[in-house]
Structure 1
């Protein structure tokens, strides 16, 4: 498997999906009030939180066991059975507590969580199977078309007056496309379930579950707590800022997705040196994008939110800066975290997750009550820094982690040069429209790449990966 080529495929699909998603969210935000957007985001947050125990880490366990070469047919059927059993109590709980859920969401949406949960978990399982088959690049297309169908169907229904429900119906349609595509592409058929494979999956998933709690917590716990203590409009404003920062994670998450099955295979074969040589290259590439994004957001946070989504969303400009800085750290963490799980030590990833989750929860409650949505951003950023440090410490016990400081320094220097040029441009012209903002951002990207090609360490990041892509 060509890791660079697979990462580019995944990144291209994720980039296109994020662009479509970004345009869709911008359209939804302009068509619906911020409190309606808050109801949508709370629905998605609750869906993500329920999915944590409903999946119990089974999806990650499937990828791990597939990549190790165990009986894939039996693993798949066992995983389907386990996931079905896990879903039942949550479906029953949603039905029983639908009144309280509707009050929390601010709309009559509770029962829609049931088909959303079933479709989401089924679709994600097919993608994990493809990853386990070491066909990571082929997960790009179904992920892209899921986003495309979701936004297109949602936009049509919102435009026709269906409101938040229309967006959720679009979500259903996207999951159906992803599910069908994944089943079509997978070469693994369903075999007989096995108690032995159930134990094998559970032995991995019980730790992967805690790690996934950490991931979902950082995605949704701040939204859930803001929904408890603040207004739904605050939820909408905060989540819009979060969605913008998600763009920063595109390439690093693509790299982490790509290297997981390969690192798992190398670990099973005992070739630790190959893992150690891969990690610094992966980190350098991830930060090549994350670092300049932070500099750009510091300069244009109010313009990005106000011109794209509306003036009411500029209240989250400081939140956007804080969360983008956090994404720089997360770009390293996602690679170290997936590598730690790939070497079959999800227990250590789980320990780091428990510590940071507890810290995140306490800080969110305290800081949201004291400082509102800015407090939520600070809580998330600080707890994630701790989480990243712990993951690096645990991984370093098994493989040597070499941080590519020189290449990172080159990226920082190129980003600083870009920021100076953009500051001069911003001082000379008034950015008063979205097209002008997009042109300025495009110009900034060009300037950054130009500086990166001039500075030897950052030039090495570009040229080395270009060579790998064409090999």
Structure 2
């Protein structure tokens, strides 16, 4: 019950953050255009890739070691000093080659990249310790605070005439705020502040030497396509692609919340007993990994063009890209549960291999497909590579523990999504025949009714889902009893 409530809190927080970011992105796109939006996301993409060299898997290692319940402060200090040293080294090279960096970005933002790198690094370290302390819901709540602060400052700065500089200021302030708040909460949880020993550094490095590739894998899923697109297509097309990506990101939030909630529990359970003891939690993760992604795919296919039209008419050319990216996030939602479990049972080496396969294939496919098919090629490359990595992850985990795929529960989610899709399609037909509703109003109405129909249908046909909902509500509802 506690895990379910934590997942819901974390998901609600991340959803709120993504909604705020989505609204801010619409505002930016409408006021500054796709070219400025594309430049901004190229900066973020560059920071995301450079952060890999700075973090080197240390945040993941911190979460793992802190979740084991010993010497939390020592691990934080050890991890912090490692990444701080790496930050200075990477920043030196960014500033040394600032002319080349500015040319790639199409804007003199090398110093901004260094600033962004520092604030994102600080927040990542604090967030990793919160997760290790089983405070996943707290780390989740900080996300909408960061995004809300960033968005409000960015919108205000744009209205004041600061354009892209306002985007940079808002981003920086948002990250600094949650880093300070998160660090205050982290320190309050420490029993004592102890200095790290050589053994603490060794334990972090022994885990990080494999988990660093997980950082690359995450960045590859989010940013390889954007980075490669920067070499082959205009900033305007990059902006259109990232708009489609922002919509698809909504759908992966719940699966991410679930995996982050379950990781410290799996880690603690595996350390106390054996790897097989996490099988039940893993099967639960698979049962709900597609809870939001499956209906999201159906809805995205039907409403994709209208959703993109909210950004502006020029963005509608990304409708096919949006559909393919939603497929990619659906596959990624399940793949993440496999790699999370591998890491939790202290087999980052196996997760390393899975991530290596994804990264290599993703980079190769993007380089091959983007020059010929542009933003559509980037979307196909992402979906194809994550599918291959899912198959590799399945083979790796099945060799370590016994588990079963909850086909029945997943099938019922598809049935409910089909009913929802039929409802949305009927609504579109009614609007085209009898009405002339504003696009944004129609989208909101259909999304709302589609959501109600999906979850209502799932409650009717799934005993397992009814039981889970009833267990995680503050009061028992007789109608939801199995």
For the superposition of Structure 1 and Structure 2, which TM-score range results when normalised by the shorter chain?
over 0.9
Match of 1:448 among 445, 454, 460: 454
Any conservation in 1 of the 2:275–2:345 contact (CA below 8 Å)? no
Q: Which residue is 2:464 aligned to?
A: 460
Superposed displacement of residue 330, structure 1: 1.1
Q: How does 1:9-158 map to 2 (within 5 A)?
A: 9-158=9-158
Cα distance change of structure 1 residues 121 and 371 upon mapping to structure 2, 3 Å threshold:
same
Q: Which residue is 2:480 aligned to?
A: none
SS in 1 for 2:341: helix
Q: Using the alignment, how far apart are the partners of 2:424 and 2:141 within structure 1?
A: 35
Q: Using the alignment, how far apart are the partners of 2:275 and 2:36 within structure 1?
A: 50
Superposed displacement of residue 464, structure 1: 1.7
Match of 1:192 among 191, 195, 199: 195
Any conservation in 2 of the 1:75–1:194 contact (CA below 8 Å)? no
Q: How does 1:384-399 map to 2 (within 5 A)?
A: 384-399=386-401
Superposed displacement of residue 244, structure 1: 0.6
Q: How does 1:1-400 map to 2 (within 5 A)?
A: 2-186=2-186, 187-188=189-190, 190-306=193-309, 308-400=310-402
Cα distance change of structure 1 residues 8 and 273 upon mapping to structure 2, 3 Å threshold:
same
SS in 1 for 2:270: helix
List per-residue Cα deviations over 1:422-467 (Å, max 9, x = no partner): 1121111135420221011111111112221222x3x522432431
Any conservation in 2 of the 1:337–1:391 contact (CA below 8 Å)? yes
Any conservation in 1 of the 2:270–2:277 contact (CA below 8 Å)? no
Q: Using the alignment, how far apart are the partners of 1:441 and 1:4 within structure 2?
A: 24
Q: Using the alignment, how far apart are the partners of 2:469 and 2:352 within structure 1?
A: 32
Any conservation in 2 of the 1:29–1:309 contact (CA below 8 Å)? yes
SS in 1 for 2:399: coil
Superposed displacement of residue 141, structure 1: 2.2
Q: Using the alignment, how far apart are the partners of 2:369 and 2:469 within structure 1?
A: 42
Any conservation in 1 of the 2:459–2:465 contact (CA below 8 Å)? no
Cα distance change of structure 1 residues 271 and 347 upon mapping to structure 2, 3 Å threshold:
closer
List per-residue Cα deviations over 1:31-85 (Å, max 9, x = no partner): 1121111100000000100001110000010010111123212111111111111
Q: Which residue is 1:419 aligned to?
A: 421
Q: Using the alignment, how far apart are the partners of 1:410 and 1:470 within structure 2?
A: 26
Instruction: Give unmatched runs, 5+ long, in structure 2.
Output: 476-482
Superposed displacement of residue 272, structure 1: 4.2
Q: Using the alignment, how far apart are the partners of 1:148 and 1:73 within structure 2?
A: 30
Q: Using the alignment, how far apart are the partners of 1:191 and 1:86 within structure 2?
A: 23
Superposed displacement of residue 470, structure 1: 4.2
**Matched residues, number:** 468
Any conservation in 2 of the 1:284–1:404 contact (CA below 8 Å)? yes
List per-residue Cα deviations over 1:294-323 (Å, max 9, x = no partner): 0001111100001x1001111110000001
Does residue 408 (structure 1) correspond to residue 410 (structure 2)? The answer is: yes
Instruction: Give unmatched runs, 5+ long, in structure 1.
Output: none
Q: Using the alignment, how far apart are the partners of 2:236 and 2:470 within structure 1?
A: 44
Q: Using the alignment, how far apart are the partners of 1:450 and 1:58 within structure 2?
A: 43
Cα distance change of structure 1 residues 463 and 223 upon mapping to structure 2, 3 Å threshold:
same
Q: Which residue is 1:437 aligned to?
A: 443
Q: Using the alignment, how far apart are the partners of 1:163 and 1:338 within structure 2?
A: 40
TM-score by length of 2: 0.94
SS in 1 for 2:291: helix
Any conservation in 2 of the 1:283–1:332 contact (CA below 8 Å)? yes
SS in 2 for 1:429: helix
List per-residue Cα deviations over 1:260-312 (Å, max 9, x = no partner): 11100011011545411112222222212110110001111100001x10011
Any conservation in 2 of the 1:279–1:402 contact (CA below 8 Å)? no
Cα distance change of structure 1 residues 466 and 251 upon mapping to structure 2, 3 Å threshold:
farther
- Aligned Cα RMSD in Å? 1.5
Superposed displacement of residue 469, structure 1: 4.9
Superposed displacement of residue 18, structure 1: 0.9
Any conservation in 2 of the 1:59–1:125 contact (CA below 8 Å)? yes
Q: Using the alignment, how far apart are the partners of 1:207 and 1:257 within structure 2?
A: 18
Any conservation in 2 of the 1:142–1:177 contact (CA below 8 Å)? no
Any conservation in 1 of the 2:9–2:137 contact (CA below 8 Å)? yes
